[in-house]
Structure 1
Amino acid sequence: MSPSDSSAGPAPRLSVVIATYNRLPLITRLLQQLAGQTLPPEDFEVVVVDDGSATDVKGPLLALKLPYTLRVEVQQNAGAAAARHRGVLAARGTTVLVTDDDMQVASDFLARHLTHHPPGSRNVVLGRISPDPEIGEMPLFERWYAHLNNRMAEELSVPGAKARGNHLYTGNVSFPRADYVGVGGFDKTLGQSEDVELGVRLEKAGCAFLFAPDAYVLHGSDHVSFEKWIRRAHRYGMFDTHVSVKHPDVKGVNPWRLFFETNLLSRPLLASAVVAPEASRKLTEAVVKASTVADKLGLTGAAFAGTSVAYGMEYLRGARTEAGGWRGVAKGVARYLQGRGNPQG
């Protein structure tokens, strides 16, 4: 029988926190994979927070026969940041690992994370997010996202490379619970980029960031809507503006960095999205169509390059919207160009 929904007994070494929303089959798959871990089941617990799914999640999950303690929290839909925050506060382990409900994990996943948290350390461990073997069947924008994850992993794997706070992502990360609570946890007012903003505060508080390719997850996706993807790009631009205002000394969270770090040939298109946000949408649509054609022709590099431009245009539209006018844009660009304080990325 599973010790599900029990908090009796000594605190475990590790708490796994997973927010879920309308993904009962996927979260069930992950919980079953966690049942096969090499880490003894008494050494960890799993806290699932159902963020207002349309159908019952708690009942079916607690009916699973699992060897570890499982607790399921239920809340009205409030977003991933609020759900993960609730889960971390409910966690009893000294180390917390956050992952997503659509991930798959190897049997030594938890053990590998714990090896990077020796006694007395204050490490934030970023595990690798590797693409599902079926990545080729996914939409172009999801394959592009996997490409970005791989590129970042390669950059952080170079000898001497240093992971920073603005690299934090919630798909595969572990940290001391005390440090999370100490900095106040996720900023629940942020609809996107709450992970990056948390990472900045953890680094400012003295935590060390480590990239651990051995503690990997496999990421598939059930996202099939291009419209939702492009809206998410807009939201990232908006909320990164908030993060930049909150941390003006951190160059790596400034949304306008995207313009300056992009290939020179792409900058006119990005600029058009800022100068004429609505009129330039036809240009974005043309870039998307060209990327789709390139993808069908097997020109993967060109397809990814075009997808990056389309994303960047919508992202900067979001930043332009949140800036509230040219004065706000000028202030944001000036903050980037001044490059004050810690560049972080």
Structure 2
Amino acid sequence: MSPPSPSDAPSPRLSVVIATYNRLPLITRLLELLGAQTLPADRFEVVVVDDGSKEPVREPLSALKTPYALRVEVQANAGAAAARHRGVLAARGDIVLVTDDDMQVAPDFLERHLAHHPEGSRHVVLGRIRPDPSIGDMPLFERWYAYLNHRMAEELSTPGARVRGNHLFTGNVSFHRADYVGVGGFDKSLGQSEDVELGVRLEKAGCAFVFASDAYVLHGSDHVSFERWLKRAHRYGMFDTQVARKHPEVRGLNPWRLLFETNPLARPLLAATLVAPEATRVLTRTVMRAAQAADKLGLEKAAFAGTSVVYGMEYLRGARNEAGGWTGIAREVARYLQGGSR
């Protein structure tokens, strides 16, 4: 069992915060990998917050023999934002690193993150998310996510690229605990996009964002349900609308940007979804079947393009529901058109 962290013990430099839900084998794997870090064990701690898992987590995790201080918090299911917020508040380190329970990390992962936090800085460090080597076994929609992560990483790695607050993702990020607390932490009312919204507030508060390709994680996936993936796209459309209302000057947050920034060939499908959201559900599935057929033929670019359209259609259904009808849609589109240049 991990030794407890007495209140009078020196505070570690770094706290790793991980929210988990019904993934005991995966969180166990990650904790074991953290036990093999090159960073001395007395310089970091790990705080796991179990967000109401059906299978008990505290007992088996507390029984692990870890060289670092490990604490396991348990709460009734309240969502990832609430779980991560609890973990950050419980953290004792100056720097907090947030990652997901299904990640894998290299032995120098923590050292590389800390290297991007020189004394006196107020950095928010976004590490790279690389796909698990078994990515080929994942469903098309999960491989599409990996493709988007890769594309963003390549863009942010370009010399002169500016990393912004709305790039923040909780799969691999570190920041000063004081900055997190100073802006109020995650908005726990958001069921999705709480990471992006936090990033915008951190940037407004004066934090500098850094992309660290060397501080990478490997991301696999246990998501295999297309229906759940569609629901997730729908929820992102809803909650991105709420985030855009909070920060109207950040145009990149507004979900209605899809109508103006998406490939022109896809815009009629997106528009049809707005006009007849229920009637076009069959069309959405038809496009996905076409994407899957292209994937089987080895036409990956076409398969990803089709998957993007499917996601966009369901995403805008969610945004439409949150807008509350045509008057609301017109108001949200106008907010996008009147927003700032970001």
TM-score band, normalised by the shorter chain?
over 0.9
Q: Is the 8 A contact 1:103 1:219 kept in 2?
A: yes
Which structure 2 residues correspond to residues 215-234 of structure 1 after superposition, within 5 A? 215-234=215-234
| Equivalence for 1:59 | 59
1:187 aligns with 2:183: no
Q: Equivalents in 2 of 1:6, 1:277: separation in Å? A: 56
> Quick one: structure 1 residues 160 and 9, their matched pair in 2 at CA, closer, same or farther if it must change by over 3 Å?
same
Secondary structure of the structure 1 residue equivalent to 2:265: helix
Q: How far does residue 252 in structure 1 lie from its aligned partner after superposition? A: 1.0
| Equivalence for 1:171 | 171
What are the superposed Cα offsets for residues 235-270 of structure 1, whole Å, 9 maximum, x if unpaired?
000000000111111111101112211100000001
Secondary structure of the structure 1 residue equivalent to 2:49: strand
What are the superposed Cα offsets for residues 211-237 of structure 1, whole Å, 9 maximum, x if unpaired?
000000000001111100000000000
| Equivalence for 2:45 | 45
Secondary structure of the structure 2 residue equivalent to 1:264: coil
| Equivalence for 2:158 | 158
Q: How far does residue 66 in structure 1 lie from its aligned partner after superposition? A: 0.5
Secondary structure of the structure 2 residue equivalent to 1:48: strand
Q: How far does residue 4 in structure 1 lie from its aligned partner after superposition? A: 4.6
Secondary structure of the structure 1 residue equivalent to 2:22: coil
Q: Equivalents in 2 of 1:310, 1:43: separation in Å? A: 45
Q: Is the 8 A contact 1:255 1:316 kept in 2?
A: yes
Q: How far does residue 279 in structure 1 lie from its aligned partner after superposition? A: 1.0
Q: Which amino acid aligns with 2:76?
A: Q
Q: Equivalents in 2 of 1:220, 1:156: separation in Å? A: 22
Q: Equivalents in 1 of 2:285, 2:263: separation in Å? A: 20
Q: What RMSD over aligned residues (CA atoms) do the two structures have, in Å?
A: 0.9
| Equivalence for 1:316 | 316
Q: Which amino acid aligns with 1:273?
A: T
Q: Equivalents in 2 of 1:75, 1:269: separation in Å? A: 42
Which structure 2 residues correspond to residues 26-37 of structure 1 after superposition, within 5 A? 26-37=26-37
What are the superposed Cα offsets for residues 170-217 of structure 1, whole Å, 9 maximum, x if unpaired?
000000000000000000000000000000000000000110000000
Secondary structure of the structure 2 residue equivalent to 1:134: helix
| Equivalence for 1:301 | 301
Q: Is the 8 A contact 1:125 1:209 kept in 2?
A: yes
Number of residues of Structure 1 aligned to a counterpart in Structure 2: 342
Q: Is the 8 A contact 1:273 1:317 kept in 2?
A: yes
1:244 aligns with 2:244: yes
Secondary structure of the structure 2 residue equivalent to 1:16: strand
| Equivalence for 2:202 | 202
Structure 2 length as normaliser, TM-score?
0.98
Secondary structure of the structure 2 residue equivalent to 1:202: helix
| Equivalence for 1:328 | 328
Q: Equivalents in 1 of 2:4, 2:336: separation in Å? A: 49
> Quick one: structure 1 residues 78 and 318, their matched pair in 2 at CA, closer, same or farther if it must change by over 3 Å?
same
Secondary structure of the structure 2 residue equivalent to 1:128: strand
Q: Is the 8 A contact 2:248 2:339 kept in 1?
A: no
Q: Is the 8 A contact 1:124 1:207 kept in 2?
A: yes
1:117 aligns with 2:117: yes
What are the superposed Cα offsets for residues 45-70 of structure 1, whole Å, 9 maximum, x if unpaired?
00000000001100000100110000
Q: Which amino acid aligns with 1:274?
A: L
Q: Which amino acid aligns with 2:215?
A: A
Q: Which amino acid aligns with 1:321?
A: N
Q: Equivalents in 2 of 1:73, 1:110: separation in Å? A: 22
| Equivalence for 2:73 | 73
Q: Percent identity?
A: 77
> Quick one: structure 1 residues 6 and 304, their matched pair in 2 at CA, closer, same or farther if it must change by over 3 Å?
farther
Q: Gapped runs of 5+ residues in structure 1?
A: none
Structure 1 length as normaliser, TM-score?
0.98
Q: Gapped runs of 5+ residues in structure 2?
A: none
Q: How far does residue 316 in structure 1 lie from its aligned partner after superposition? A: 0.4
| Equivalence for 2:282 | 282
Q: Is the 8 A contact 1:169 1:196 kept in 2?
A: yes
Q: Which amino acid aligns with 1:286?
A: T
